[in-house]
Structure 1
């Protein structure tokens, strides 16, 4: 009897017996979906959100906004072109209780929104959410005039005592632990009486592409934003008070969630096509084109999508991932299968993500026979022959997909709680199995 038959939470990761050749349609971006929901909720008129991601994080965001009075109708778009959400802004109100789960975007983006509600809004979530830093948002909102009760924790649970408006103005924050602190303030800023000036004071600022995404999406619905990328003062963002327009937005595929499928092409020496890969995007996942090419593949990007082809060999690399930290687990998994060592740098902030991703990757890869050591700001990976075993996920979706990548090349890998992938990538096990087709064997 296998361990997986005794322990139903273990998923036998399919082992690839040959080169993958597949087209994988990746669901919409979580980052875009949740930003779009917030902006639509704060707009002056209804808007459409087409091809939204339906996952735990985005459904938590939608439900949270509903609890504060926003109308979100799920159905088919006006032209019958597929799933779309109609967002109908309304007067925000409390009392309300928001379940953030373990979604960083929900726990950080919505307290600023709650300051605009008429009444108290309580925020609570999973046990891990209590450990994730929120002080940057809490302290900044207090500086801008908000009343927040967090019992001096700087973390969840907390209550925002909304007064129907927020004065806004200038604030200094240290967003070294999460760029979401900056995005959280910028998203609601057009509704603050004085707008906002956010000045980052820390020595580092991770995941800058996510801040660029926030700025681009604000501008697309009529906000005035002054930022470093367009000649503004370094580490300073200014958003003016203004009305936001209701828009019709189509959500891009989630490029970070495309990572395991592109990795499958690299690991098996095969080919994977992801339709609708945007020609221009602020998503961090777009960096995979360069990173995975360096590791031994090649890619072709056309108006139809991205085709990535593995060469049959995987090379190690030395790379700064500070702007694209969420890609680290998948890159680490591929690096563990490479023909030379890798050093992944600039990602100390991953210790504060869904789990301590650096410690988790080190432990899980090493328990399969690997040689990974933590550094001050990342990982050093020396490839060694790996063997089967249980790959724990710590309720972290990107740990689950990382283990699945290793399982392609290593027979007998079993993923604990693969269902955690529903956080951002619903139906991952089915998509993974379908991609492999006849080239995959479960747990063999």
Structure 2
């Protein structure tokens, strides 16, 4: 079925009550695929997320020489020799653009990288500069498109990077580091690294594969050279993708349960429990999953989202609907995500009547009535999440390019619409 553009997102006329199961985590799936492709034997990635980003990752690793069977819910990965000249399509997947080049250095062919037009503006230079310092032959320039000419091995060793723009710069080097002759010793020099839980996720997964990782010193992560043991992974639900659904409970005064919420996790989305509690919701974790119940007006918050910046679009949408001012800070790095999310959020929320002040590292929002209009997404799935949240609470809001949500949640629009009572209305 063709979805109109802009999409007339449903408006809730009564509380939404639902229990849902979400697709797997993109972050976990793509890390698991990298490690499986570099492992010493075949393994299985169970409950893998099937989305544009993960399919692009599977295709990239397959083109390099691994065999990945994506025909079933569980993906079987068989490592192979990285040979031949290949082209890698990064699409809009930061994990493909940043995680695959360190792997490509182990090939014995020429590996060319490019992606969507928006992707050419996303930062990757720190990874490329680091790879050059570790002995990898990388073409000139620090943006897409670029080419890595592999020689079958990488020297490795110590490298200093400024990862203040993205924690993925660190994870990219760590994931392939055990296969380098000298391993890799990554030192960060710059402003604090954002999204540290994502580096914790990388380290935890490496250790599960038997890789020796030292991370006790601040701003230093060292991976010892050695084999990467084959391990089967069961992918957790994507907790950041839970954000708009839990927000739906908050804005409608309903109750939404996300099944299989882990008791312990390195996913940034787990911070939603504290954030939504602070905004006035009731949050309960039980064997059934995580349940959020809306209790009336949402309250403004003052939050440092530095470690969980991917949640900013959803939180900003909720703050625009709150009954008191909010300030979101510590998130200058999300200007380098799929789009400049701070500028995009300020533009789109202001366009609907919100009072938003954009700061170098965040946003301030004051309560004001919102009205109808088109919420633009800038080819960014998280912006689409913000748009549908506003649309659920405000008359006449449509969301442009809802299809961009396929990056991490295929057929999102149909799933979202199915949660609304029959009395829900489109603009």
Specify the TM-score bucket, using the shorter chain as the normaliser.
over 0.9
Structure 1 position 439, deviation (Å): 4.8
Structural mapping, 1:13-412, within 5 Å: 13-76=9-72, 83-149=73-139, 151=140, 153-227=141-215, 232-412=216-396
The 3-state SS of whatever aligns with 1:335 is helix
Structure 1 position 275, deviation (Å): 0.3
Structure 1 position 9, deviation (Å): 1.6
Q: Runs of 4 or more off by more than 6 Å in structure 1?
A: none
Q: CA offsets, 1:159-181, max 9 Å, x none?
A: 00011110100000000111100
The 3-state SS of whatever aligns with 1:11 is coil
Structure-2 separation of matches of 1:74 and 1:203: 39
Structure 1 position 129, deviation (Å): 1.2
Structure 1 position 303, deviation (Å): 2.8
Q: CA offsets, 1:67-98, max 9 Å, x none?
A: 1111001244xxxxxx1000000011230100
The 3-state SS of whatever aligns with 1:183 is helix
* Contact 1:109 1:187 (8 Å CA) reproduced: yes
* Contact 1:299 1:306 (8 Å CA) reproduced: yes
**Unaligned stretches of 5+ in structure 2?**
none
With the length of structure 2 as denominator, give the TM-score of the two structures: 0.98
1:422 aligns with 2:406: yes
Structure-1 separation of matches of 2:231 and 2:288: 25
* Contact 1:199 1:236 (8 Å CA) reproduced: yes
Structure-1 separation of matches of 2:35 and 2:232: 12
Structure-1 separation of matches of 2:265 and 2:416: 25
Structure 1 position 440, deviation (Å): 2.1
Structure-2 separation of matches of 1:154 and 1:162: 18
With the length of structure 1 as denominator, give the TM-score of the two structures: 0.95
Structure-2 separation of matches of 1:155 and 1:437: 46
- Map of 1:11 onto structure 2: 7
1:413 aligns with 2:401: no
Q: CA offsets, 1:169-206, max 9 Å, x none?
A: 00000001111000000000010011010000012210
* Contact 1:40 1:47 (8 Å CA) reproduced: yes
* Contact 1:393 1:416 (8 Å CA) reproduced: yes
Structure 1 position 437, deviation (Å): 3.2
Structure 1 position 299, deviation (Å): 1.2
The 3-state SS of whatever aligns with 1:187 is helix
* Contact 1:20 1:439 (8 Å CA) reproduced: no
* Contact 2:12 2:421 (8 Å CA) reproduced: no
- Map of 1:79 onto structure 2: none
* Contact 1:50 1:251 (8 Å CA) reproduced: yes
Larger mean CA deviation between 126-135 and 255-264 belongs to 126-135
* Contact 1:44 1:246 (8 Å CA) reproduced: yes
Structure 1 position 438, deviation (Å): 2.5
Structure 1 position 304, deviation (Å): 2.8
The 3-state SS of whatever aligns with 1:306 is strand
> What is the root-mean-square deviation of aligned Cα atoms in Å?
1.1
Q: CA offsets, 1:24-72, max 9 Å, x none?
A: 1110000000000000000000000111111110000000111111100
Structure-1 separation of matches of 2:104 and 2:60: 10
Structure-2 separation of matches of 1:397 and 1:334: 17
Structure-1 separation of matches of 2:71 and 2:52: 18
Structure-2 separation of matches of 1:439 and 1:213: 42
Structure-2 separation of matches of 1:241 and 1:366: 51
